[in-house]
Amino acid sequence: MGALLTDLFSRNLIRWDPSQRINGIRYGRDIARWPDEDLAAIGLYRAKPPDVIPEGMQPGAGVEWDGSSVRYVLEEIPPAPRRRVEKWLIIERVNAAGKAAAADALLNLPGNEFAKFRWLAPVESVFFDDPDTVAMVEALELDPDVIMAVG
């Protein structure tokens, strides 16, 4: 069961602690098992998720009074972080496929200076969908889904 909230301060909802008295009465922890109607009668409310949760939203940590009950405030679901692949793992997979010499030759072709600069930069990983890395893997006639797979 979720935390109980009280509106002792003009709908400024705060978490209720069992050590707090309500109307001079100290209620035990078993009060959390009471029905919502009984809790509301003494000024305690159990937060509930909204009836409808739109796509891309989720109940957040905040709560609000909606006129008849306490509801969790909706917040946007954060986007998943883009997955990265360690360069050493890509090198190992390209080497295991027997394409290390071809990869070196590709990086050293005239016009690929920037690609070589990026690959040799002191950054330990690339995004799994990095267009330059995927293009090189495809130029080596390898499968990007295999080479850029989760380690």
Give 46's contacts (C-beta < 8 A, 6+ positions apart): 1, 2, 4, 5, 36, 39, 70
Tell me the pLDDT band of 2, cut-offs 50, 70 and 90.
low
- Letter for the amino acid at 151? G
Q: Is the pLDDT of residue 79 over 70?
A: yes
Give 149's contacts (C-beta < 8 A, 6+ positions apart): 85
Ranges of each domain in the chain: 4-76, 84-147
Give 42's contacts (C-beta < 8 A, 6+ positions apart): 22, 23, 27
CA dihedral 62, 52, 66, 17 (to 10 degrees): -40
Q: Quick: pLDDT tens for 17-43.
A: 888 888 888 888 888 899 988 988 888
Q: Is the pLDDT of residue 9 over 60?
A: no
- Residue 77: per-residue pLDDT: 95
- Residue 10: per-residue pLDDT: 55
- What's the whole-number mean pLDDT along residues 69-90? 93
d(CA 95, CA 117): 20
Q: Of 89, 73, 68, which Cα lies nearest the Cα of 137?
A: 89
Whether the model pTM is above 0.85: no
Give 35's contacts (C-beta < 8 A, 6+ positions apart): none
- Residue 11: per-residue pLDDT: 58
Tell me the pLDDT band of 145, cut-offs 50, 70 and 90.
very high
Expressed in angstroms, the distance from the first to the final Cα of the chain is 39
Q: Quick: pLDDT tens for 42-70.
A: 888 888 888 899 999 999 988 888 777 78
